[in-house]
A and B are shown apart, each in its own frame.
Chain A
Amino acid sequence: MKKFIRPPQIIILVFLAVLTITAIYLHIPLNAMFGDSLVRLVMNGVLVLSLLPMLNAGIGLNFGLPVGVVAGLLGMCLAVNYHQTGWFGLAAAMLFSAMIAVVFGYLYALLLNKVKGREEIAATFVGFSFVSLMCLFWSVAPFNNPAMLWPIGGKGMRLTVGLKDYFGKVLNNTWQFNILGIKISLGLLLFFFLLCFLVYLIYKTKIGRAMIAVGENEDFARLSGINVNRVRTLSVIFSTVLGALGICVYAQSYGFLELYTAPLMMAFPAASAILIGGSTGGKTTIGQVVLGGYLYQAIYVISGPVANQLLMPEFAEIIRMLATNLIILYALLYGEGLRKNA
């Protein structure tokens, strides 16, 4: 625990506590917000989790997350196109997504292995250009479910596709119950923690150990008989598949598929969250993922209503942005300091 909670996390916790106390003072119902924050944790948590494999393999923050996200969107589009609904629809979407993500991840890894040492910046550009490329694809995508097509032209995909009649909120509505006015989606939480546990288990296996070793010291790993490029490739595929599953969870909770430029910025909130969780851009733990994911989202959940009641609304938004971004910057600086003094 000592290793877990460091000054950046303490500052955020204090910030969160101040917000919570203000919320109580302003009579904003906290129980609903707590429920919302849990939903948000899972909604975004899988995307945050998807950064972990690449961080652990020393490839850095996956700013190319849009690659995985697009794979997920494609998978879901396929499921919607074939009118798959309910649990089966989500499962089908996830299966399609994972399959596409394996292919995308493999190609993405080929590229990243060619730019060793500059992966983060390369990934950023891969992400951006891939999203643009996909914009072209979406506008001519050969899907034929009329619920997905442009309402005027009748060809190409809409900007957003509603999932309500397919598999929207499937996870959210599983085993949902109210306790003390807090709406808890047990299914959603269980799914997330199961996925976390699965990732944790993978890092306990031989290939998982190899991934971590490659991240820490490539030369050592190579001398230990590890095929470094293969391990890196697997890590990138792993990240991409998790990213694809992440957007499935996100979209089912949000209730809409967002196509075109929507995935463009997806990597940044996830990266912010993992940094707030205490990752320093190197080996990262599941604990840091969950902590960071929760803190980042909880601040969003509480700060909005509090700030709207407390101050001039526009001013509130600026303050919130300033505070979260400064904290991320501080977390980065603090992490950097730790690395240097080590």
Chain B
Amino acid sequence: MPQIKLSKINKNFGNIQVLKDVELELEPGEIHGLVGANGSGKSTLLNILFGNPVIRNTGSYSGSILISGQPVQLRSASEAVRYGIGMIHQEFALISGLTIAENIKLGREKARGITEKLLGYDLSYVDRESNIQDAKAAMEKLGMEIDPRILVLDLSISMKQFTEIAREIDKTDLKLLLLDEPTAVLNKEDSRMLMDVLRTLAQKGISMLFVSHRLEEIMEICDRVTVLRDGAVISHYRSHEFEGIQIAQDMLGKEIIQAMQKKSAPLREPIMEFKNFGAAMPGERLDDLNIEIYKGEILGITALSGHGKLAIGNGVMGIYDTWGSVKRKGTPLENSNIREMISRGICFISEDRRGKGLLLKHSILENIVFTAMMTKDGFLHPFPLSDLRWPDRNLSSVFAAECIRELSIKCESAQQKVEELSGGNQQKVCIARALALNPEILFISEPTRGIDLGAKEIVLNILVSLNKKKGTTIVIASSELDELQRICDRIVVLYEGRVSAVLSPEDDERKFALALSGESVDQIA
């Protein structure tokens, strides 16, 4: 008997049908891949299975769900949990003011026996130590050595993801685990570690529905794959039938063109120097960085998560405490002053797109011109008092239209709100905002995180052409090593917050592997 069986699932949001007659079944212990481009209905399907209130508030779904042969109605998350369904969210469902251990054991805390007997579970005295032990064990299963007493808000994004996963695998009655892009924020190493954990869990009879953009992972770990496109099931494959290109084409309904930079010898003219630079970004600490950035290059920075690659861009902008020195063309920079940074041609696009990179409730146009307006008085009518200048509608709409065309931002108009755009198009708006500043050096963190295959290539292409046409120096911090290898001139590999090696993209794969794990690359000639 299948662990869970869905038949004829239909779901509408208003007039739009987002799921059409979806059929799906999972055997016990099966890892089932669910793939599809953004907006194909994967997240909606998961929301139905986890009883997300959004589904009920928008008119519920039709069709039947059988768990171990029993028909069930999943009306709330707590009901789903009772049926043994656990979920790992794409956007974290963690309480940032609590510790790792408290998050993992939330609602299922171990209590001191006597108090539980006397007062009942709700009023019992929580056994803090044993909860911490449990949490530690759960994290160790994932290969993470971390003190569970650390507050979640101090964790890096990938460590938050592991905490979330640990919370689910710590549940003893788990039958079905829903994973919504669990590896989107993880690097390859961490992903691999997660894969191993998932396989062990599967052997214990837990079924898993695995949603991911990374086809190679899907092919590696899944027993079966279902491809969704526009809310309908396009195809099913068993593991022996897997073929990446076929699945990708099913997803997109078209062929993919990969971005590629033709290498040219970069000029060795430094335009920015880091000396003993460090930044105290929680969970991504960077220390002792000594590097020169050359004019006109694309510099890649990679590392396993938690090893400091994100701290460079954030540190330069002074979002976290920094030390050491940064020089721009020989003159030192006061790096806590963002205005000065921008006025000296340095621009930063944050990895936290929705949290720090966009004004979600504002239009595309306003987002694009905003920073230029604030720091350089761009797109404003002249007026003696800078604060009271008002926007020049013509200038800004011409520029926005140009960006929308050049970067192929898919939208109704420049007046559309940014929150209505997909992740990829939001990223393009972020880049357009940077373009409005006309930067000489662009720091960009995780430019392709959480956006779908097609959009990834467009974003990479934009960066390459920006570098080619305008000569903008670009520093990309990313965990997608293969992408960096395709477009960068040099790649800096960090380990535990320090430079482990500076490699050329053509270097031997084994060198990268060694550098990422902190070993000396000299072992390979």
Could you list which residues of chain A lie within 8 angstroms of chain B, going by C-beta atoms?
Answer: 201-202, 204-207, 209-210, 213, 216-217, 219-220, 222-227, 283, 341-342
Cross-chain contact of A223 among B356, B373, B389, B391 (Cβ < 8 A): B356
Contacts of B118 in A (CB 8 A): none
| A227–B370 alpha-carbon span in the complex (Å) | 14
B355 on the A face (CB < 8 A): yes
- Closest chain B CB from A66 CB (angstroms): 28
Cβ of A205 and Cβ of B350 under 8 Å apart? no
Whether B317 and A209, one on each chain, are in contact in the complex, defined by CB atoms closer than 8 angstroms, is no
Known: A205-B390, A213-B359. 13 other contacts (CB 8 A): A205-B387, A205-B388, A209-B391, A213-B374, A217-B356, A220-B356, A220-B359, A223-B338, A223-B348, A223-B356, A223-B357, A225-B342, A225-B375
Are the CB atoms of B371 and A224 closer together than 8 Å?
A: yes
**CB <8 Å contact, A206 and B360:** no
Question: What CA separation (Å) do A204 and B388 show in the bound complex?
Answer: 9
> Judging by beta carbons under 8 Å apart, are A209 and B370 in contact?
yes
CB of B386 within 8 A of chain A?
yes
A-B pairs, 7 with minimum CB distance: A225-B375, A207-B387, A224-B371, A225-B339, A219-B356, A225-B338, A205-B388
A182 to B415, CA, bound (A): 42
Q: Are A222 and B338 in touch, CB under 8 angstroms?
A: yes
| Nearest A residue (CB) for B380 | A206
Interface size class of B (residues with CB under 8 A): 20 to 34
Complexed CA–CA distance, A206 and B107 (Å): 48
**List of A residues within 8 angstroms of B21 by Cβ:** none
Known A-B contacts A220-B357, A223-B338, A223-B348; A205 and B389 likewise in contact (beta carbons under 8 Å):
yes
Given contacts A216-B361, A217-B356, A224-B375, contact A206 B390 (CB under 8 A): yes
Tell me whether A209 and B358 are in contact (CB under 8 A).
Answer: no
Q: Within 8 Å of chain A (Cβ to Cβ): is B288?
A: no
A to B CB contacts below 8 Å, 19 in the list? A204-B390, A206-B373, A206-B374, A206-B391, A213-B362, A216-B361, A217-B359, A219-B356, A222-B319, A222-B338, A223-B338, A223-B356, A223-B371, A224-B338, A224-B370, A224-B371, A225-B341, A225-B371, A227-B339
Assembled-state Cα–Cα distance A220/B366 (Å)? 13
Give A337 Cβ to nearest chain B Cβ, in Å. 9
Q: Is B377 an interface residue (CB 8 A)?
A: yes
Query: For residue A209, which residues in chain B have a CB less than 8 angstroms away from its CB?
Result: 366, 370, 373-374, 391
Please determine whether A220 and B374 come into contact, CB atoms closer than 8 angstroms. Answer: no
Partner-A contacts on B (CB < 8 A):
54, 57, 317, 319, 338-339, 341-342, 348, 350, 352, 355-362, 366, 370-371, 373-375, 377, 380, 386-391, 419
Measured in the bound complex, the distance between the Cα atoms of B390 and A202 in whole Å is 9
**Shortest Cβ distance from residue B360 to the other chain A in the assembled complex, whole angstroms:** 7
Interchain nearest-CB distance for A83 vs B (Å): 36
A217 to B359, CA, bound (A): 7
Minimum distance in angstroms from B286 CB to a CB of chain A: 18
> Which of B359, B380, B386 has most A Cβ within 10 Å?
B359
| Minimum C-beta distance from B349 to chain A (A) | 9
* CB closest chain-A residue, reference B358: A220
A186 CB, nearest partner CB in chain B, Å:
29
Give the residues in chain B near A210, CB-CB below 8 Å.
374
Q: In the complex, which residue of chain A has the Cβ closest to the Cβ of B388?
A: A205
**A206 contacts across to B, CB distance below 8 A:** 373-374, 377, 380, 386-391
Cross-interface CB contact of A224 among B54, B374, B387, cutoff 8 Å: B374
Q: Which of A204, A216, A219, A226 meets B362, CB within 8 Å?
A: A216
List, in ascending order, chain A residues with CB within 8 A of B371's CB. 223-225
Chain A residue nearest in CB terms to B419: A342
Q: Shortest Cβ distance from B437 into chain A, in angstroms?
A: 9
